[in-house]
Amino acid sequence: MNHNPKLTRRDFFKMSGAAAATLALGTGASAPANVQAATLSLGTHVKASLPKAKGPRLVVVGAGTSGLTIAKYAKKAYPRFDVVMVEKRDMYSSCFSSNLWYADLINLEFLANHSFLDAARNNHYIFFNATCTGLDRAGRKLMTNMGEIDYDYLVLAPGIDYDYSRIGVSDAESETLLRTDYPAGWTMPTEHVTIRDKIHGFDGGLFIQTVPGGNYRCLPAPYERACMIASYFKKNRIKGKVLVLDHNPDITIKAKGFHAAFDELYKDYIEYKPSAEIKGVDVAKKIIKTEFDSYRFDDAAIYPGVRGARIIETFGLVDPNSNQKEANIDGFKYHVIGDERVYVTGDSRPMPYSKSANTANTEGKYVAKVLAAHAQGKSINWESPRTLCYSMVNADPMEAISVDAGYAYDKKKKAFGFSSDTKLYENRDQAKGRATLEWARGIYRDLFA
């Protein structure tokens, strides 16, 4: 049997025609002058199997907190929108609240018993399970492995990716071992399963939790995780210690509350090392190297630096001045510079807001209004996202600390910072412990109901 079919003259001209069409789209012949050429074209020129759009089609990529919020609230703000949510996962499980699972304060159902299909049906949009393969901004087409989708507006909310080069790991073999054996636990749900198994199967010794520099996903989360691990060790009388190696000179948020928990609840279980920038990891010998010291560990959750999701770079949307490869967007309207039809939101944005659930949720509601206004030829004033964030520091009884932060723009510095109404609540108590669970339930209801 011949497995190498011949290329006929007719096939050649068909392929040439397809290539020419792709090139024409790539040159942006019919696009505004300020819209760059198509960035990646792996399309099949087969349309995705979707109903005909009944109004301006808004395609949202990424069904995390940001994307789910925008899909729901854009439809509410402008019912004429024909909203399509594109998501590569077929199951949802939240990153937020996952630390609580490690200490058995919640079960896996709490994180994962939420359906993309229910969210779409309840909020009158289409869920489309597919992986993006390319973007033609000139022709306003999103390519996926399930066909091309024409859009009037496109929102990319893809989250983060890890950057292991920022902890001195640049070879693919070591990076793969780290991703597999010592996952960070802030992107894929499967990482949470591995980390929980590590904690529950720990025989004793040194467990290292690292904290990266820069604007990483969920500033208090690594410290909360240290508390939850220590709480589990303490409750189950495991002779282990959590060593927190922090790139930063001090705990990055709610410092007073976390220091109090470390000192008063886990004096024999947590050791905190500030200004411990990781310079390399010897995975085989289980050694983490900092500028001045080396630490041998029995197990670990190694959190490298973070960057904007790679799809942002693949689509040619990275801000060249961003050291975390975040998107080149308008800081107030979220559209790509020079293209008011493509938006980037959530943790791939360059603004220094907290990369956390409540921030993405409140920001998403604002972006939904921006999109609805633009579709009607209007504009709205900027609204700050809000970071309401609880951190559980004690598991028995449940006690938490919290922060309620807004943001403001300093015209002189041309930079965003915390607003003057930001408040910290760093005395742990059981009321905030209960509120931690209610806060998460409220986010789930807002995304899926």
DSSP for 270-296 reads EEEESS--EEEEETTTTEEEESS-EEE
Same domain as 169, residue 293: yes
In the predicted structure, residue 22 carries a pLDDT above the cut 80: no
Same domain as 174, residue 259: yes
Same domain as 218, residue 351: no
CB neighbours of residue 39 within 10 Å: 16
**Does residue 371 sit within a domain?**
yes
> Quick one: average pLDDT of 158-168?
96
In the predicted structure, residue 5 carries a pLDDT above the cut 90: no
Beta strands in 16-118, from DSSP E residues, in sequence order: 57-61, 82-87
CATH number for the domain including 365? 3.50.50.60
Domain boundary, last residue among 344, 363, 382: 382
**Does residue 292 sit within a domain?**
yes
Residues of the domain holding 193: 163-306
**Does residue 366 sit within a domain?**
yes
Q: How confident is the model at residue 29 (pLDDT cuts 50, 70, 90)?
A: very low
Helix axes 357-375, 65-77, angle to 10 degrees: 30
Same domain as 192, residue 141: no
Q: What is the pLDDT of residue 109?
A: 96
pLDDT tens per residue, range 302-315: 999 999 999 999 99
In the predicted structure, residue 268 carries a pLDDT above the cut 50: yes
Do the strands 339-344 and 335-336 form a parallel or antiparallel pair, or are they unpaired? antiparallel
d(CA 248, CA 252) in angstroms, rounded, equals 7
Same domain as 200, residue 147: no
Domain boundary, last residue among 251, 285, 306: 306
**Does residue 422 sit within a domain?**
no
In the predicted structure, residue 377 carries a pLDDT above the cut 70: yes
**Does residue 352 sit within a domain?**
yes
Higher pLDDT, 11 or 244: 244
Do the strands 278-282 and 287-290 form a parallel or antiparallel pair, or are they unpaired? antiparallel
User: Is the previous residue joined to 385 through a cis bond, with omega within 30 degrees of 0?
Assistant: no
> Quick one: average pLDDT of 207-211?
98
pLDDT tens per residue, range 40-53: 555 567 999 999 99
**Does residue 441 sit within a domain?**
no
> Quick one: average pLDDT of 101-111?
97
Q: Which of 284, 274, 279 is nearest to 169 (CA)?
A: 279
Residues in the chain: 449
Q: No. of H helices and E strands in the chain?
A: 12, 23
In the block, tokens 């087969």 appear at 46
Same domain as 170, residue 116: no
Same domain as 168, residue 300: yes
In the predicted structure, residue 279 carries a pLDDT above the cut 50: yes
Q: What is the pLDDT of residue 72?
A: 98
The angle at the Cα of 214, spanning 433 to 280, to the nearest 5 degrees, equals 105
Give yes or no for a contact between 37 and 27, defined as CB atoms under 8 angstroms apart: yes
Domain boundary, last residue among 364, 382, 400: 382
Q: What is the pLDDT of residue 44?
A: 62
Q: Give whole-number Cα distances, 35 to 41, 57, 338, in Å.
A: 16, 19, 6
Do the strands 287-290 and 294-296 form a parallel or antiparallel pair, or are they unpaired? antiparallel
Same domain as 319, residue 258: no
pLDDT, mean over the chain: 90
Helix axes 65-77, 116-123, angle to 10 degrees: 10
Give yes or no for a contact between 404 and 423, defined as CB atoms under 8 angstroms apart: yes
In the block, tokens 């009158």 appear at 124
Distance of CA 191 to the CA centre of its chain: 14
d(CA 129, CA 120) in angstroms, rounded, equals 12
- Going by the DSSP 8-state scheme, the letter that residue 167 receives in this structure is G
Q: What is the pLDDT of residue 38?
A: 45
Same domain as 302, residue 190: yes
Q: Which of 144, 155, 222, 133 is nearest to 186 (CA)?
A: 222
**Does residue 169 sit within a domain?**
yes
Same domain as 107, residue 200: no
> Quick one: average pLDDT of 321-341?
96
Same domain as 69, residue 111: yes
Q: Which of 278, 274, 270 is nearest to 242 (CA)?
A: 270
Query: What's the number of domains the chain is made of?
Result: 2
Q: What is the pLDDT of residue 45?
A: 77
In the predicted structure, residue 145 carries a pLDDT above the cut 80: yes
In the predicted structure, residue 208 carries a pLDDT above the cut 70: yes
- State the alpha helices, DSSP H only, in 28-171: 65-77, 98-102, 108-112, 116-123
- Going by the DSSP 8-state scheme, the letter that residue 93 receives in this structure is -
Same domain as 154, residue 174: no
pLDDT tens per residue, range 61-101: 999 999 999 999 999 999 999 999 999 999 999 999 999 99
**Does residue 73 sit within a domain?**
yes
CB neighbours of residue 22 within 10 Å: 18
3-state secondary structure of 155: strand
